[in-house]
């Protein structure tokens, strides 16, 4: 087990290292000059040159990379050109807002999705299963930003029961938060419910076909007990992995949902940074997002190793 954990941690560090190189090289790949972008097009060339030196842009890329990483270890994430504030403050201010939308969506969708997935697998081939499969396909194929707009039209403009846009912190005004966050959270949940339902259904079907289920049947154990006690237990293990994978959906979705509902979170920060070529925010955001997903996956892998001995013994490779 110890070797397994150390191996996973080393691979995670390698991945974050590779992503950090990519994030830093973006500054050279993306068109436009960061210093010029910051000063505006009317600025004098000497002033721009001075800022360039201040931003360390005159140094070779490897030196820039080392300066950046050193700063990160000291907790200094650099300055945003667009907001003219330290990135650390911007991230600290915006991250809770993204979490306030993403986390409820995750917590809300997973129980429903597992329930739907089990029903759909047990009733395989029946009308209920077909209806659910249809809704899964529909849920995965609906563009989340369009769903948000549709929701705004129906609930805010037509029925006038919800506000159009905006965000209130749950700690400042919980009622107002619920009122404003319910629509974005629901929109984000749709794709997640569909994805997790499909996965649970597949897992459940797989474990229903396992040898131990057949053996249990041969012993004459009742069908209900087989399905809920033996099959379900094994089908639920991969759900941890699925929740880990859903982090990608949440982060990607926050990019779109935050734009539709005008929520000043990490997603809208990244979009603003891209549109304004705010390189120092882009590189930090990319590294930060990757660090987050890698961290979640690491925790998932380790948990998985504890729960399922086949994984840490290397008999079964998880996707």
Partner 1 sequence: MNTIKSEKMIEHEIVKERQRWQKWKELNEKTRVFFGRGILAKVSFVIVVFFIIVAIFCPLLTPYTPYQQSLKDALKGPSANHWLGTDNLGRDVMTRLMYGARISIITGLLSCFWSALIGMTLGLIAGYFGGFVGGFIMRMSDAQLSIPPLILVVVLAPILGGTILGISICIGVSAVPSYVRMINGKVLSLREEDYITAASLVGQTEAKIMIKHLLPNCFATLIVMFTMSVSIAIMIEAALAYIGVGITPPTPAWGSMIADGYNYLISHPHLAILPGLCLMALVVSLSVVGDGLRDALDPRLRGIL
Helix axes 127-141, 174-208, angle to 10 degrees: 130
Q: How far is the CB of 273 from partner 1 (least distance, A)?
A: 9
Q: Is 204 exposed, middle or buried (0-12, 13-18, 19+ CB in 10 A)?
A: buried
- One residue of 30, 53, 69, 313 binding partner 1 per CB under 8 A: 30
Residue that is written with structure tokens 């299963």 in the block = 129
Can residue 64 be called a binding residue for partner 1 (CB under 8 A)? no
- State residue 197 phi and psi, 5-degree precision: -60, -45
Q: How far is the CB of 46 from partner 1 (least distance, A)?
A: 28
Which of these segments, 36-44, 171-179, 244-252, 307-315, binds partner 1 (CB under 8 A)? 244-252
Can residue 161 be called a binding residue for partner 1 (CB under 8 A)? no
Q: Which of positions 222-241 make contact with partner 1 (CB under 8 A)? A: none
Can residue 182 be called a binding residue for partner 1 (CB under 8 A)? no
In the three-class reduction of DSSP (H, G, I as helix; E, B as strand; rest coil), residue 86 is classed as strand
Which of these segments, 37-45, 60-68, 110-118, 147-155, binds partner 1 (CB under 8 A)? 147-155
Give the separation between CA 81 and CA 87, rounded to whole angstroms.
9
- One residue of 294, 302, 305, 308 binding partner 1 per CB under 8 A: 294
Give the separation between CA 103 and CA 290, rounded to whole angstroms.
18
Can residue 124 be called a binding residue for partner 1 (CB under 8 A)? no
Q: Is 119 exposed, middle or buried (0-12, 13-18, 19+ CB in 10 A)?
A: middle
Task: Provide the CB-side half-sphere exposure for 278 (13 A, CA).
Answer: 25
Report the residue number, 4 or 177, with the smaller CB distance to partner 1. Answer: 4
Can residue 22 be called a binding residue for partner 1 (CB under 8 A)? yes
Contact 227, 145 (CB under 8 A): no
Q: Given the rule CB under 8 A, which residues bind partner 1?
A: 11, 14-16, 18-19, 22, 26, 29-31, 130, 134, 137-138, 140-143, 145-146, 149-150, 152-153, 157, 202, 205-206, 248-249, 251-252, 255-256, 259-260, 270-271, 274-275, 277, 282, 286, 289-290, 293-294, 297, 319
């Amino acid at each position: 087990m110890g070797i397994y954990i150390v191996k996973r941690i080393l691979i995670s560090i390698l991945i974050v290292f590779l992503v950090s190189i990519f994030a830093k090289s973006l500054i050279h790949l993306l068109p436009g000059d960061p210093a010029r972008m910051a000063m505006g097009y009317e600025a004098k060339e000497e002033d721009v040159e001075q800022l360039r030196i201040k931003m360390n842009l005159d140094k070779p890329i490897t030196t820039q990379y080392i300066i950046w990483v050193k700063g990160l270890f000291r907790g200094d994430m650099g300055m945003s050109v667009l907001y003219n504030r330290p990135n650390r403050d911007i991230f600290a201010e915006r991250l809770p807002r993204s979490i306030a939308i993403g986390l409820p969506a995750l917590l809300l969708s997973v129980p429903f999705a597992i329930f739907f997935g089990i029903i759909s697998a047990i009733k395989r081939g029946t009308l209920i299963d077909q209806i659910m499969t249809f809704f899964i396909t529909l849920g995965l194929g609906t563009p989340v930003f369009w769903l948000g707009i549709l929701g705004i039209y129906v609930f805010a403009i037509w029925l006038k029961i919800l506000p159009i846009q905006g965000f209130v912190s749950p700690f400042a005004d919980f009622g107002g938060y619920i009122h404003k966050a319910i629509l974005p959270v629901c929109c984000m949940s749709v794709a997640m419910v569909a994805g997790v339902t499909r996965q649970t259904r597949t897992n459940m079907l797989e474990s229903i076909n396992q040898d131990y289920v057949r053996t249990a049947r041969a012993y004459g154990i009742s069908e209900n007990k087989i399905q809920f006690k033996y099959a379900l237990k094994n089908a639920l293990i991969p759900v941890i992995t699925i929740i880990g994978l859903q982090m990608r959906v949440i982060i990607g979705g926050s990019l779109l949902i935050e734009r539709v509902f005008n929520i000043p979170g990490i997603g809208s920060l990244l979009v603003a940074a891209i549109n304004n070529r705010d390189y120092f925010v882009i590189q930090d955001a990319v590294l930060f997002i990757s660090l987050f997903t890698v961290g979640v996956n690491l925790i998932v892998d380790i948990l998985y190793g504890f729960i399922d001995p086949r994984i840490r013994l290397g008999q079964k490779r998880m996707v």
